[in-house]
Structure 1
Amino acid sequence: MNDPNYPALATTHPTYRYATIGGRKLAYLESGRGFPVLLGHSYLWDAAMWQPQIDVLSRHFRVIVPDLWGHGQSDPPPDGTRDLDDLAEHHAALLDSLAIDACHVVGLSAGGMWAEALAQRHPGKVRKLVLMDTFVGEEPEASRSVYMGMLARIEREGEVAPELLDRIVPMFFGPAIDRQSALFRNFSSALCGFSTERLRDGIVPLGRIVFGRKDRLARLHRLDPRRTLVVAGQCDIPRPVAESIAMANLIDCPMTTVPDAGHIANLENPGAVNRILLKFLLDGDGQAVR
């Protein structure tokens, strides 16, 4: 994951902090100083997913990376959490608790889904928006049926069975991923390590929100195209590049692909993603405090 453009950069290890949102503990990492950047991670991952970007962005920005409810060190979602709009409001409340009036937001997969809702509901809070390997349209019927079936089985059995692991883990990476690599094996191990309680109280409910989402494509034109960027891993399996192209066309904003990367593009090709994010976030109005 070393980026040749930043050879002298030492890995930072931000510590967890906690906010109480809706009566529940929301964990987040914080690193750096300057204009704030909020990073939203993928479903089934946690804030540590963004480590290569934390290392680089924290040189220019105050980087805040929450764990999604039920993931990492965050509690299960607050009672009454029903949809992506609720998740957006929870993240707005986190910003308020930190006295942040405006920030850049970068969301990948599920993180991009609530990030789009945050930008729609609180446009003054979101200076620039990056939607990465995500799709805010309704989940296609075929994949929704598969995912909901997986969630039902996980809830029933209280574990991610080996045959489900064999189906789930490869979806997050490009087809060229080395299945013996630390990246692939560590993600598989993390899924095996989820407790029955965490699966039933956090992972499954969040999955049903993500894959049962409503179609939000019709409102994408409201986003400011000058301050929005769509990014997609060239080999993304669950969120094909065509979906990102369609969203960028509706927003009328730039769209770029990350070569040699699948769904978790920021980990498969961190150097390319770092360059894309720095160029977009540092460019023009709203650039970082130096």
Structure 2
Amino acid sequence: MDQILEKPVVSQTIRVGNREIFVSEAGEGPVVLMLHGGGPGASGMSNYVRNVEVLAKRFRVLVPDMPGYGRSTKGLDRKDPFGDLARSMFGLLDAMGVKTCCVVGNSLGGGCALRMALDRPDRIRRLVLMGPGGVDTTRSLPTAGLKRLFNYYKGEGPTIEKLATFIKGDLVYDASAITGELIEERFKSSVDPEVVASPPLLGPKGIPNFRAIDFTRDPRLGKLETPTLVLWGVEDRVNRPSGGLSLLKRMRRCDLHFFSRTGHWVQWERAEEFNAVTMAFLSQGDSA
């Protein structure tokens, strides 16, 4: 992390089925579940270190390490990663006594959030998706950023140089604020022996079955009534910004914001704007 949070954050590990899920919590009020991306070494609090304190002023913010990442149990169903993650997150909410919530998701977490809303729209009040995965995945070749993500554990295996290239070149537009500490923290997490033995996003042939995780081919998407805010960096090199227009076209209640000179990490690169627009959106209507 690159800063110290002033708002008290309490962390615990909760048993969900055959998994242990590590989750951090701050604030009181309506629940907001924040789901991180799927890049090497990703974790909940490192993904949202610039956002949790602001959102916790109004909401009860839950930030888990999703299965396969951080301090949670490793391993993920590669045939249906979003479905596996969604079921696990609903299990976490059940264990914490949360019936309904808003969900904020970045990249892999955005795909999980969208799958949660499609599977159980009665439990998801609002969605905020930042460069979500699973959008138009079968309509064009994988981006260079996705290829670097999938190749991280291949060849010579993980190196800090490969990770630095991915973070500085693919996750952000302006890498000047990326610290060595941030890269070292993520590298240490990425080389956990359990992760190296079974990287969460790699399928039998090295990449996921994209057709099985393309939400734009799911007929439920056009019927979804969940109010959704989509945020996308124009310079996103991991998930194509055109995905935002695809969601806008298909979803009934979708607002779309593009951020210029911004990459895949909208919530990190444009934290102040992200916090403001997300707070406003989640505060609309009854979010309890």
Q: Assess same fold via TM > 0.5.
A: yes
> Do the aligned residues in 2 keep the contact of 1:139 with 1:211 (CA within 8 Å)?
no
CA distance 1:122–1:150, change in 2 (3 Å): closer
| 2:153 match: secondary structure | helix
CA distance 1:59–1:121, change in 2 (3 Å): same
Percentage identity across paired residues of the two chains: 24
CA distance 1:135–1:205, change in 2 (3 Å): closer
Whole-Å separation in 1 of the counterparts to 2:280 and 2:53: 16
- What displacement does 1:184 show? 4.7
CA distance 1:273–1:147, change in 2 (3 Å): closer
The corresponding residue for 1:195 is 191
Q: Deviations over 1:34-80 (max 9, x none)?
A: 11000001113211121222101111111101102232211203679
The corresponding residue for 2:124 is 126
Q: Is it true that 1:31 corresponds to 2:26 in the alignment? A: yes
The corresponding residue for 2:11 is 16
Whole-Å separation in 1 of the counterparts to 2:152 and 2:28: 44
> Do the aligned residues in 2 keep the contact of 1:102 with 1:125 (CA within 8 Å)?
yes
> Do the aligned residues in 1 keep the contact of 2:143 with 2:240 (CA within 8 Å)?
no
> Do the aligned residues in 1 keep the contact of 2:78 with 2:203 (CA within 8 Å)?
no
**Gap runs ≥5 in structure 2:** none
Whole-Å separation in 1 of the counterparts to 2:26 and 2:10: 8
The corresponding residue for 2:44 is 47
Aligned partner of 1:205: which letter? P
Whole-Å separation in 1 of the counterparts to 2:238 and 2:284: 30
The corresponding residue for 1:268 is 269
Whole-Å separation in 1 of the counterparts to 2:78 and 2:267: 32
CA distance 1:78–1:112, change in 2 (3 Å): closer
- What displacement does 1:13 show? 4.2
Q: Deviations over 1:134-192 (max 9, x none)?
A: 142353563279856864661564x4135533542220111x321xx3x3533432343
Q: Which of 83, 94, 100 is equivalent to 1:102? A: 100
> Do the aligned residues in 2 keep the contact of 1:233 with 1:264 (CA within 8 Å)?
yes
- What displacement does 1:243 show? 1.2
Aligned partner of 2:246: which letter? A
**Gap runs ≥5 in structure 1:** 3-8
Bigger proportion of residues as helix: 1
| 1:51 match: secondary structure | coil
> Do the aligned residues in 2 keep the contact of 1:52 with 1:267 (CA within 8 Å)?
yes
Q: Deviations over 1:228-276 (max 9, x none)?
A: 1111123211122211111122114210123442111111111000011
> Do the aligned residues in 1 keep the contact of 2:27 with 2:60 (CA within 8 Å)?
yes
Whole-Å separation in 2 of the counterparts to 1:146 and 1:122: 31
Whole-Å separation in 1 of the counterparts to 2:284 and 2:149: 42
Whole-Å separation in 2 of the counterparts to 1:198 and 1:185: 24
Q: Is it true that 1:284 corresponds to 2:285 in the alignment? A: yes
What TM-score results when the alignment is normalised by the length of structure 2? Answer: 0.83
**Where in structure 2 are the equivalents of 1:1-290 lying within 5 Å?**
11-44=6-39, 45-48=42-45, 49-77=47-75, 82-137=80-135, 139=137, 142-143=141-142, 147=146, 151=150, 154=153, 157=156, 159-162=157-160, 164-165=162-163, 167-169=165-167, 170-174=169-173, 176-178=174-176, 181=177, 183-193=178-188, 194-201=190-197, 204-208=199-203, 211-213=208-210, 214=212, 215-218=214-217, 219-224=220-225, 227-252=227-252, 253-286=254-287
What TM-score results when the alignment is normalised by the length of structure 1? Answer: 0.83
- What displacement does 1:113 show? 0.4
> Do the aligned residues in 2 keep the contact of 1:234 with 1:262 (CA within 8 Å)?
yes
> Do the aligned residues in 1 keep the contact of 2:236 with 2:264 (CA within 8 Å)?
yes
